[in-house]
Structure 1
Amino acid sequence: MNLRELLERLIWQENELYNLYKLGETFATYERPEFVETFRIIAEEELRHRKTLEGMLSGGTLKGTAVIDYLDSLSLEPMLSDERVEPESLEELILEALIREKHAYELYTKLSEILKDSLSQIFRMMASEELKHAYRLRLVYEGL
């Protein structure tokens, strides 16, 4: 996998998470209105992650960075193997989202350790936000 493929896959994953949380917003509207705002906030953060990654892709931000040397040894599976899901309930959606948040957290943490300076900080911030998403999802799940 080359750098461009990695960024494209990460963008796809962030978009899938965004769509999952927008669906969660819809489920919550009908099933548990008190959780609508939580899903809306998480969806917005996933959208911001996607835009950040798109900026890296279009701007060539990662060209010449250490990540290129480590791509094959990162052990990115299962983080990049998540496929599109179609949950049929709010509970299913949350369980799937928790798995994806864990994968995103682990991947962004690895990238933050490899990269330096501002890129490391960006991926560390994104990893931290994925961890917060998982925490919020656990609270929602416990409230079901």
Structure 2
Amino acid sequence: MKLEELLQKIVHQENELYNLYKLGETFATYEHPSLIEHFQWLASEELRHKNTIEKFSSEKTLEKTAVIDYVDSLSLEPYFQDERAEPQTLTDLILEALIREKHSYELYKKLSQILSGSLSEIFNMMAQEELKHAYRLKIIYEGLEE
């Protein structure tokens, strides 16, 4: 896998999460209006992550970093095998999003460990944000079960 391909796959994953959260916003509108703002926030976070990665891609930010040496040996395929989600319920959507958030967290954590300096910090911050998303989803999910 080449660096540009890696970045495009990350953009795709972030876009998939964004789309899930926009769908969650729609589900919430009809089923749980109190959750609308949560899904709007989650969608905005994923959009920000997507924009960050697109900027790295367009500015060739990662071109001369250690990531190039590790791209082929990172074993990243599991993070990119998620099929397009087509949840039928809000519960299904949350469970799907939790899996994707976990994959994003693990990927960003790996990248933060390979990189150094501010790039490492950015990917570590994004990993921590994915954990926050998963935690919020878990709370929403538990609220639906009550």
**What's 2:10 paired with?**
10
Gaps of 5+ in 2: none
Deviation string 1:90-125 (CA, Å, 9 cap, x unpaired) is: 000000000000000000000000001111011001
More displaced stretch, 68-77 vs 83-92:
68-77
Give the number of equivalent residue pairs: 144
- Looking at structure 2, the residues matched to 28 and 88 of structure 1 have their Cα atoms a distance apart, in angstroms, of 13
CA drift at 1:75: 1.4
**What's 2:43 paired with?**
43
Give TM-score scaled by structure 2 length.
0.97
CA drift at 1:77: 2.7
The aligned runs of 1:26-105 (5 Å cut-off) are 26-105=26-105
- Looking at structure 2, the residues matched to 63 and 72 of structure 1 have their Cα atoms a distance apart, in angstroms, of 15
Percent identity, aligned pairs only, is 68
- Looking at structure 1, the residues matched to 83 and 61 of structure 2 have their Cα atoms a distance apart, in angstroms, of 27
SS at match of 2:82: coil
- Looking at structure 1, the residues matched to 56 and 33 of structure 2 have their Cα atoms a distance apart, in angstroms, of 36
SS at match of 1:79: helix
SS at match of 2:40: helix
- Looking at structure 2, the residues matched to 61 and 71 of structure 1 have their Cα atoms a distance apart, in angstroms, of 15
**What's 1:108 paired with?**
108
Amino acid at match of 2:122: I
Deviation string 1:35-66 (CA, Å, 9 cap, x unpaired) is: 11111001000000000000000000001100
- Looking at structure 2, the residues matched to 83 and 117 of structure 1 have their Cα atoms a distance apart, in angstroms, of 34
Amino acid at match of 2:112: S
Pairwise CA RMSD of aligned residues? 0.6
Gaps of 5+ in 1: none
